[in-house]
Amino acid sequence: MAALLATHAAAGNLAPPRPAATSQSTLAARIDSILARPALRQAHWGVLVRDAATGRVLYARNAERHFIPASALKLVVSATAAHHLPADFRFRTTVHGTGAVRDGVLEGDLVLYGRGDPMISDRYFPSRAAVWEALADSLKARGIRRVAGAVVADESFFDADYLRGDWEAYDTRWWYGAPVSALGFNDNSIDFRILPGVTPGERPRITWEPQSSYVTLENTAATGAAGIASTLDFERWRGGGVRAYGVFPAGAAAKTEHFAVANAAEFAGTVFREVLERRGIEVANDAVRVVSDPARSPARGAAVLAEHQSPPLEKAIGPILMNSQNWFAEQLLKAVGRQVAGEGSWDAGLRVEREFLTGVVGIDSADVVLRDASGLSAGNLVTPRALVQLLDYVRRTPRQAVVRGALPVSGGKGSLQARFTDLPGRVRAKTGYIGNVDSLAGYLTRADGGEVTFAIIANASGQPSSRMKAGIDDVVRAVAAGGESRNIPQRRP
C-alpha cells in the first residue's frame, strides 16, 4: 500500500500523506523528556497544566497525589484572607492607660495591645520604630509626661503558641521562622550587621538594629584569613541573649543577618518603652510585663489613649506572595482565625482555610493536609489538582484580584525577578522551596495570548534546589512553546 501511494504521488495523482506527528513533538513528550533527565528523574513529580479558558488538561502527572508544597501553600492563606476580610481591612494596635491622667502623670500602667499587625517595620514606615514614635507623640499631645507604672505588652489577642512543633529547630532562629504573636515588630527579628575585624584573630564588628536593651550579644566569633568561607552563625544564649560564633573572613563585605527574637511581645514592649523615654515620657518601672492570657488582659475596659492602624490588607498579602515572607503568612492566618472564628490560633485559622477550600472553592477535602500558612512545615500536603483549582478560582473571582496582583512576575519583580527572563511578564506564579522540595504554581501567558494555569511540585529530589528550579523552568518553557491542546492522559510513572 505504501509503495502504491508513493507511485501515485510521484505521478502527481495523489499528494503523499502528511506524516503523523511523532511522540517527541507533543507537549506531553517534551515534558516527559525533561523530567526524565538524570538530575530530575529520581524526584517525585506532581504536575498539572490546564488551559485557563476551557479547563482542558494539557498535561498531568500525579496530579491527584499528595505533595509537600513548600511556599506555594501561601496561595491558600492569601486567597482565604481575600475572601473573608474586606479590602480595606486594617490591623489595629492600641495604647491603653490603666489609671487616670493627672497633671501629666498616668497613674497606672501603659498597655501596648497588639492585634497581629505584621507591618510595624521600616518596610512601610520611615524607620523601624516610626510607629512607636507616632504613638508616643500622640500620648505626649494628650499631655502625658510620666507613666507611674510600667509598660505592659499585651499579646492576648492571639494564643501563646508561637511556633509550630514540626518546624526545624534551626529555622526558628531566623526571620523566616520567627515567633507568631499578636504583638510583633520588625518581623520579630533583630538585624545584625557584621563587618570583619581589621586583622585575623580580632572579633568581627557586630552592630544591630533596632538599638535596644532587649538585645544582649556575646561575640565569640573571630576574623579569619581573607578568602575563606564564612562560618559565622548566631544562636540563642543564656539569659535570653544571643551568641555569635564561627569565623568571618578578613576583607569581606558587610553582611546582615536577621535573627528571630525569643519573646516578641517583650521585644516590642521594650523598644516602645525606650522610644517613650526618648520622646520625653518617663516610665517609672523599666521592666516590661507580658500578658498572654485574655482573661488577664489589662486592656479590657481601660481607656484608649492612642491608636495605630496598619496599611490595608493588600499591603500584607504583597510580601507573602511577592517575597515569600513566612511570618506575614502566619500572622495573617491567626488574624483570619480571630476575625472569622473568634480565636487567634493555628487551629482556628487552618479550620477557616479548610472550610474555604472545600465549601467555597470546591476542592476535595482529601486533597489538602494543612499544618501552617507559610509552607515551612513538611507536614503540609496538597495535590497539584487542588492548587490549580484554587488558582482557577482566584482567576475568575473579582475579590481575589489582590492575590493575582501580588504574584511574582517573570523577569520583573519578586521571587521571579531573575527567572524566565526569556519570558518577561508572561509568568505570574508563587515559588516554593524547603529541603528537597521545590514548587511553582500560577499562570502562564502563551505566545498566542492564551493563558495556562499550572502547578509543578518536586519532592524527594536529593538534588540542589538550583537544578530542580531549572527543571521546573524548562517545563514551563515547554508549555509556553505550545503543543497539543487535547486532553492528555494522567501519567503515573
Whether 205 is in a domain gets the answer yes
List 74, 310, 430, 461, catalytic entry: 74
Q: Are residues 391 and 321 in the same domain?
A: yes
Catalytic residue, candidates 78, 181, 212, 324:
324
In which band, very low, low, confident or very high, does the pLDDT at 239 lie, cut at 50, 70 and 90? confident
Residue 181 within a domain? no
CATH classification at residue 140: 3.50.80.20
Model confidence pLDDT, tens digit, residues 176-211: 999 999 999 999 999 999 999 999 999 999 999 999
Check whether residue 319 and residue 300 sit in a common domain: no
> Can you give the CATH number for the domain in which 403 is found?
3.40.710.10
Task: Tell me: do 303 and 369 sit in the same domain.
Answer: no
pTM passes above 0.85:
yes
In a domain, 391, yes or no: yes
Q: Which long-range contacts (CB under 8 A, 24 or more apart) does 19-26 make?
A: 25/483, 26/483, 26/484
Q: Does one domain contain both 336 and 299?
A: no
User: Of 345, 383, 305, 327, which is closest to residue 66 (Cα–Cα)?
Assistant: 383
**Residue-wise burial string across 328-357, b where 16 or more C-beta atoms lie within 10 A, e elsewhere:** bbbbbbbbbbbbbbebbbbebbbbbbbebb
Residues 5-48 pLDDT 10s: 333 333 333 443 433 333 335 999 999 999 999 999 999 999 99
- Count how many domains the chain has: 3
Phi, psi (rounded to 5 degrees) for 290? -100, 130
Whether residues 71 and 114 share a domain: the answer is no
DSSP state of 427: E
Same domain, residue pair 403 and 475: yes
**What's the pLDDT tens digit per position in 436-460?**
999 999 999 998 899 999 999 999 9
Domain finish residue from 273, 293, 311 = 311
Can you give the C-alpha Rg of the chain in angstroms?
A: 27
Which H or E element spans position 83? helix 74-84
Query: Does residue 411 surpass a pLDDT of 80?
Result: yes
Residue 449's CB is within 10 A of a number of other CB atoms, namely 6
Same domain, 335 and 468: yes
Residue type, 453: T
3 in any annotated domain: no
58-84 mean pLDDT: 98
Regarding whether 359 and 474 lie in a shared domain, the answer is yes
Examine the domain organization and report whether 113 and 36 are in the same domain: no
pLDDT in tens, 147-161: 999 999 999 999 999
Question: Is 140 an annotated catalytic residue?
Answer: no
Per residue in 294-312, pLDDT tens?
Answer: 999 999 989 999 999 999 9
Q: Indicate if the pLDDT at residue 275 is higher than 70.
A: yes
Instruction: Provide the b/e sequence for 23-42 (b: ≥16 CB within 10 Å).
Output: eeebbbbbbbebbeeeebee
- The answer as to whether 1 is a domain residue is no
Residue 56 near residue 488 (C-beta atoms within 8 A) = no
Mean pLDDT across the chain, nearest whole number? 93
Domain that holds residue 277: 92-161+263-311
Residue pair 370/281 in contact by the 8 Å Cβ criterion: no
Of 271, 295, 311, the residue that ends a domain is 311
- Whether 7 is in a domain gets the answer no
- Fill in the DSSP letter of residue 332: H
Instruction: State whether 456 and 384 are in the same domain.
Output: yes
pLDDT digits (tens, 9 = 90+) for 339-381: 999 999 999 999 999 999 999 999 999 999 999 999 999 999 9
Residue 5 lies in a domain: no
Q: Which residue has the cell 517534551?
A: 30
Report if residue 4 sits inside a domain.
no
Same domain, 344 and 461: yes
413 is annotated as an active-site residue: no
Unique residue bearing C-alpha cell 527543571: 471
C-alpha to C-alpha distance for 20 and 33, rounded to whole angstroms: 19
Pair 153, 28 in one domain:
no
Sign of CA dihedral 352, 357, 362, 368: negative
Helix (H) or strand (E) holding 441: strand 437-445
71 in catalytic set: yes
Domain boundary pick from 224, 245, 260:
260
String of b and e for 113-134 (b: at least 16 CB within 10 Å)?
bbbbbbbbbebebeebbbbbbe
pLDDT in tens, 87-132: 999 999 999 999 999 999 999 999 999 999 999 999 999 999 999 9
